[in-house]
C-alpha cells in the first residue's frame, strides 16, 4: 500500500511535515496495530527527504520547541535501543550512569515513565530509579512510583494489569520454548511475565527459521496467543487489545487529575514518547490518533530511514541523552513548564 492511496491528514499544527500520510491503514483481523507499518511503502528518496518528514529533534530543536513551548511535558521512554544500546546478551543491556542521571533530572521536572517489552521487574532493576512510572510486558504490567523525586515513600501506588490471566499462560509458553529450542545454539528465552521473548541474535542464519517455526507452532496451538516480530526477537504475547500506546494513554489519564490539582489543564500537558522498535509505533500512533500534534509527538530512534508514525527522530541513544539533557535546560529556562 502506498501513502498516496490514503487520505492526507491536512496541514500539521507544528512546523514539521511528519510522515506523508493521514491515518495509518487499519490492521487486518488477527494483526497487531503496529503491523500496519509494514503496509506502508517507502515514501522518501534519500535520507535528507526522510528527515524532512521526521526532523531530528536535536538538529532542528526549534521545531520541537514550537510544538511544546509553554506546556508541561509528560515523558515516556522505551528502554532497549533508547536508554541503553542493543547488545548481543539481553541480560547485559545496562544503561550508563550519565543516562540514568539524565532520566533522574527529567523526572524531577516532568512526570516520567518507562514502557518496555521486558518484565517490569527487570527493566526497573536496569533503570534503578524508584521515582518513575514503569510499564513492563509492552504495557501489560503497570506500576506507579515507589517514592517521590525527593525520596519520600508513596503509600498509595498505581497498579494495573489488564491481562492477569496471561501470566500463567506465559509460564507454560516459557517452559515449552526452552524445551523445544534446547538444541538450537544461541537461542535466549526471556520470560517477561506477561509475554515471552525468543531472542535469536546469537543464532546462526541457517538455524533462525527453526526458532521462528517453534514460536509459530506455539502461537498456533492456542487462540489466545499472538506472535510479534522485533529487533532480532520473536515474541509470544497474549491476544488482547493492549499495547504500548494503550499503556501510554492509561498513564497519561492517571496523571491528569494530580496535574490538575497542581494547576495544569489537560491542554497544558504535552506528551512525548521516545522509542526505536516497531512496538513503539503503537505509542506513536496513539499520540497521533488520540492527542494530535498540539498535545504530543513521537520521536523515533533510528540511525537510518524507515517507515514510522513518529513526527521527530533521534539517531541513537547518544542523541537521546543529549535530547533529555536539553529538556532539562529548556525546563529550567522556562521555555517549557516544569512540576512545582
* Residues identified as active-site: 78
Q: Supply φ then ψ for residue 270, to 5 degrees.
A: -115, 120
Which DSSP state fits 235? E
- DSSP, collapsed to helix, strand or coil, labels residue 203 as coil
Q: Residues with Cβ < 8 Å from 338, sequence gap 6 or more?
A: 72, 109, 110, 331, 332
Pairwise CA distance, residues 186 & 150, whole Å: 43
Pairwise CA distance, residues 238 & 223, whole Å: 9
Pairwise CA distance, residues 10 & 126, whole Å: 41
**339 and 105 Cβ atoms separated by less than 8 Å:** no
Residue 67, exposed/middle/buried by CB under 10 A (0-12, 13-18, 19+)?
buried
Pairwise CA distance, residues 76 & 275, whole Å: 9
Q: Kindly calculate the radius of gyration of the chain based on its CA atoms and give it in whole angstroms.
A: 20
**271 and 248 Cβ atoms separated by less than 8 Å:** yes
Which DSSP state fits 80? B
Amino acid at each position: 500500500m502506498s501513502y498516496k492511496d490514503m487520505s492526507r491528514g491536512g496541514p500539521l499544527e507544528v512546523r514539521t511535515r511528519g510522515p506523508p500520510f493521514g491515518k495509518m491503514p487499519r490492521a487486518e483481523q488477527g494483526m497487531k496495530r503496529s503491523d500496519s507499518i509494514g503496509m506502508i511503502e517507502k515514501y522518501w528518496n534519500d535520507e535528507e527527504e526522510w528527515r524532512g518528514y521526521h526532523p531530528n529533534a536535536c538538529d532542528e530543536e526549534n521545531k520541537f520547541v514550537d510544538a511544546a513551548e509553554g506546556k508541561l511535558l509528560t515523558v515516556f521512554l522505551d528502554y532497549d535501543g533508547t536508554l541503553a544500546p542493543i547488545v548481543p546478551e539481553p541480560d547485559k543491556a545496562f544503561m550508563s550512569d550519565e543516562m540514568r542521571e539524565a532520566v533522574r533530572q527529567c523526572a524531577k521536572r516532568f512526570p516520567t515513565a518507562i514502557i518496555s517489552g521486558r518484565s517490569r521487574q527487570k527493566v526497573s532493576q536496569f533503570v534503578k530509579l524508584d521515582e518513575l512510572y514503569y510499564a513492563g510486558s509492552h504495557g501489560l504490567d503497570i506500576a506507579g512510583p515507589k517514592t517521590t523525586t525527593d525520596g519520600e515513600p508513596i503509600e498509595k501506588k498505581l497498579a494495573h494489569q489488564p491481562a492477569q490471566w496471561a501470566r500463567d499462560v506465559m509460564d507454560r509458553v516459557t517452559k515449552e520454548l526452552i524445551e523445544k529450542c534446547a538444541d538450537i545454539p544461541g537461542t535466549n528465552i526471556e520470560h517477561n511475565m506477561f509475554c515471552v521473548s525468543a531472542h535469536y541474535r546469537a543464532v546462526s542464519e541457517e538455524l533462525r527459521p527453526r526458532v521462528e517455526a517453534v514460536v509459530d507452532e506455539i502461537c498456533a496451538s492456542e487462540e489466545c496467543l499472538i506472535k510479534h516480530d522485533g529487533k532480532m526477537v520473536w515474541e509470544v504475547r497474549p491476544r488482547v487489545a493492549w499495547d504500548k500506546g494503550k499503556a501510554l494513554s492509561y498513564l497519561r489519564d492517571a496523571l491528569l487529575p494530580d496535574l490538575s490539582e497542581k494547576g495544569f489543564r489537560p491542554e497544558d500537558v504535552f506528551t512525548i514518547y521516545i522509542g526505536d522498535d516497531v512496538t513503539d509505533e503503537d505509542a506513536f500512533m496513539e499520540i497521533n490518533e488520540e492527542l494530535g500534534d498540539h498535545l504530543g509527538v513521537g520521536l523515533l530512534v533510528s540511525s537510518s530511514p524507515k517507515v514510522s508514525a513518529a513526527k521527530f527522530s533521534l539517531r541513537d541513544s547518544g542523541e537521546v541523552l543529549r535530547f533529555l539533557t536539553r529538556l532539562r535546560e529548556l525546563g529550567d529556562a522556562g521555555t517549557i513548564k516544569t512540576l512545582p
